[in-house]
Amino acid sequence: MLKKGGLYYPTTRFKNKAWVNDRKIYKEGEKNPVKFWEKLARELFWFKKWQKPFEHTPPYFKWFLGGKINITSSIFEGSPQGWDKIKDKTALIWEPEPTDQPSRIFTYQDLFSLVSQFANALKKLGIKKGDRVGIYLPMVPEIIISMLACARIGAVHTVVFSAYSSSALQIRLQGSEAKILITADGYYRRGKIINLKQGADEGIKGTKIERVIVVKRAVNEIPWQKGKDLWWDELIKDENTKCEAEIMDSEDLLFLLATSGSTGRPKQIVHNCGGYTVQAYWTGKWIFDFHPEDILWCTSDLGWITGHSYTCYSPLLNGITTLIFEGAPDFPAPDRWAKIIEEHKVTIFYTAPTAIRMFERYGTEILKDYKFETLRLLGSVGEPIDEGAWLWYFNEVGKGRCPLVDTWWQTETGGILITSLPGIGPFKPTFTGLPFPGTKFDIFDDEGKSCLPGKEGNLVLLPPFTPGLLRGVYKNPEKYLETYWSQYSKETYFTSDGAFKDENGLIRIIGRVDDVIKVAGHRVATGELENAINKHPEISESAVVGIPDEIKGEVPVAFICYTGAENLEHFKKEVVEQIRKEIGPIALPKEIYLVEDLPKTRSGKIMRRILKRLFTGEELGDLSTLANPESVEGIKQKIKND
Ligand code: PRX
């Protein structure tokens, strides 16, 4: 059993079998990162090799210029493992939420045929290379099939998390200008059927969506518009099971994924074909040490980048089995997730600290019958993991024998970029680890000087960046420049995360330095929440801050200027409903405080930092520079009394 303050290294057995087990790999990556990535890229299938590996015109950069590729050809007919070796292997396991319904299993050949059929159907509907296709699907096999079908024909998928509300869907569809939406009649969540089609119909209003393809999953009553709505099954049933891959330029668009930033509407992050493929393949292979017999369960929804890269693309590029689960991991009983691991013989389990803390909260007794003998590696992602959760995960789930990789990355980076490699280590609770070989990170102070070990600063990524880093914000070059390349220079990628290094260079992430909060690992902008709240007709002003939470890591609390209304409880409920409607249930505020005034600077800027400190116990700092210092005392009393 590993105790507090410890360091862990892989067992000799693990190390001997691991793809990388020698620290020399870091030196090799450092010596010439471009050459290093080129060598890695060669292992994949290209229709045509690139002419130039890297080009940098700050803030823009390109990788593998002139190379021709299609990510689905790298998965299927051009698999690095050899198509004949993988075609009859299980590619995908789907576990439904209701325990009385059977799982579905797809071999690589099954998946290839279905992807081709759906790709052909999309083509018949007029979808061409470069067209955007919206995907608003729950965790069903068709979500992966849709993504791959788009990639097969060069269409750009843009997945919207199915728990987002129709308003959130609408904004995202407007941002990507998608022409077709793929959705489902419904799905199961905690024993209930959620009618997704209804939400989809609302969400496409005011967008460019012409057709809606509907997967039959829940077999429930749904609204239907003849001519516009089409059943998935009917569309594909007579389609050919072969579809030639569209030959894509390395720098052609592969997908868009919306994510939250400090201000404004969600940004559509641009990921391109060649670099993303190379990075997805290699990061999975080395960080999760994918071997042919592995069965991976990455619990992230496909609607997030983690689902894109490590539920879909990376495991499939590596020819292993990926598992997806429709429901909540603690339904119908707290040990559902443990049952799934045992039943499906999962070997690699990748989840978020919030889930780990929730499992721990249910009590270790429920695990007494689970030996997890098939598990050989654990991963954590999405938010900082505290030492307690780390140790519990390592000892109780990994039984002290599985390497635990804490992986740092972002929607923008496309793949994991900071972690300990499982065949090398060390694994140090709360420290994510070292930059992936061939990537160059630093921690800068406000002047752009490198911070010494132990000193907090801003985490930055330096040239030549990585092949999978975002290439832009869709149709918004100003935002791209402003968000990522303007804090230090046009050659320094600003992550928006605070961090520090230990004396061995291991990096610890502290958290976001912008107005983004991570609620149960979900990325939410406080500004988006405020916009949702301010749409209520009786609210003129509000401020949302993230405060620490034992399970979810961080949760939003809202301060609302409100002087009217008699029934305050009813009003608070209305505010919650407003957020549910505008965004969805993923980031409902833990508390709502109705206040008279918000602390502001003399220029009128709301001082969210002060509001946050009222919860964290940090020094409030000098209040005399505020325009209304007395507001702080009033809020303090409110928090105390509520
Ligand atoms: O703050 C960091 C946090 O999640 C942010 C990125 O969120 P998103 O784009 O939704 O991608 C999440 C999954 C890749 C980062 O800026 N974050 C991610 N992983 C970690 C983390 N914080 C601490 N430790 C991590 N392992």
Out of 136-145, 211-220, 421-430, 559-568, least confident range = 559-568
Question: At a CB cut-off of 8 Å and minimum separation 6, what does 562 contact?
Answer: 538, 539, 571, 594, 595
Q: What is the pLDDT of residue 2?
A: 62
Distance 180 CA to ligand 1 centre (A): 30
Specify the ligand 1 atom closest to the Cα of 409. 14
Handedness of CA 277, 289, 389, 23 (dihedral sign): negative
The set of protein residues with a Cβ atom below 6 angstroms from ligand 1 is 259, 304-306, 381-384, 406-411, 432, 495-497, 509, 511-512, 518, 523
Q: Over the chain, what is the mean pLDDT?
A: 95
Ligand 1: residue of 269, 279, 302, 383 to mutate (most ligand atoms within 8 A of CB) is 383
Q: What is the pLDDT of residue 30?
A: 97
Task: Say whether pLDDT at 31 is over 90.
Answer: yes
Task: Say whether pLDDT at 1 is over 70.
Answer: no
- Write out pLDDT tens, residues 480-526: 999 999 999 999 999 999 999 999 999 999 999 999 999 999 999 99
**For residue 11, what are its two tokens?**
């067992």
Q: What's the average model confidence in pLDDT over 602-628?
A: 89
Specify the ligand 1 atom closest to the Cα of 509. 23
Distance 18 CA to ligand 1 centre (A): 26
Q: What's the average model confidence in pLDDT over 592-614?
A: 91
Beta bridge partners of 325: 95
Task: Say whether pLDDT at 275 is over 70.
Answer: yes
Q: What's the average model confidence in pLDDT over 179-203?
A: 97
Q: How confident is the model at residue 445 (pLDDT cuts 50, 70, 90)?
A: very high
Q: How confident is the model at residue 291 (pLDDT cuts 50, 70, 90)?
A: very high
| Pairing verdict, β 522-525 and 542-549 | unpaired
Task: Say whether pLDDT at 565 is over 70.
Answer: no
Q: What's the average model confidence in pLDDT over 388-413?
A: 97
Start-end of H helices in 308-352: 314-317, 336-343
- Write out pLDDT tens, residues 55-71: 999 999 999 999 999 99
Specify the ligand 1 atom closest to the Cα of 416. 14
DSSP state letter for 436:
P
Nearest to 11 by CA among 2, 3, 380: 2
Q: What is the pLDDT of residue 617?
A: 84
Q: How confident is the model at residue 621 (pLDDT cuts 50, 70, 90)?
A: confident
Q: What's the average model confidence in pLDDT over 440-466?
A: 98
Task: Say whether pLDDT at 641 is over 90.
Answer: no
Question: Using CA positions, which residue lies closest to atom 15 of ligand 1?
Answer: 410
Q: What is the pLDDT of residue 451?
A: 98
Q: What is the pTM of this model?
A: 0.96
Q: What's the average model confidence in pLDDT over 197-214?
A: 97
Q: What's the average model confidence in pLDDT over 439-460?
A: 98
- Write out pLDDT tens, residues 105-134: 999 999 999 999 999 999 999 999 999 999
Task: Say whether pLDDT at 642 is over 80.
Answer: no
* Run of H or E residues at 511: strand 507-512
Task: Say whether pLDDT at 530 is over 70.
Answer: yes
Distance 422 CA to ligand 1 centre (A): 19
Distance 474 CA to ligand 1 centre (A): 21
Specify the ligand 1 atom closest to the Cα of 412. 9
**For residue 582, what are its two tokens?**
């505008």
Nearest to 422 by CA among 28, 2, 9: 9
Specify the ligand 1 atom closest to the Cα of 418. 26
Question: Using CA positions, which residue lies closest to atom 6 of ligand 1?
Answer: 410
Cis peptide before 332 (omega within 30 of 0): yes
Q: How confident is the model at residue 343 (pLDDT cuts 50, 70, 90)?
A: very high
CA distance 201 to 195: 11
**For residue 370, what are its two tokens?**
């689970």
Q: What is the pLDDT of residue 620?
A: 87
Phi/psi of residue 104, nearest 5 degrees = -120, 140
Give the CA radius of gyration of the chain.
24
The one-letter amino acid code at 275 reads: G
**Higher pLDDT among residues 561 and 98, named by residue:** 98
Nearest to 372 by CA among 352, 401, 350: 401
Nearest to 95 by CA among 139, 33, 57: 139
Q: How confident is the model at residue 3 (pLDDT cuts 50, 70, 90)?
A: low
Q: What is the pLDDT of residue 616?
A: 87
Q: What's the average model confidence in pLDDT over 177-197?
A: 96
Q: What's the average model confidence in pLDDT over 571-597?
A: 93
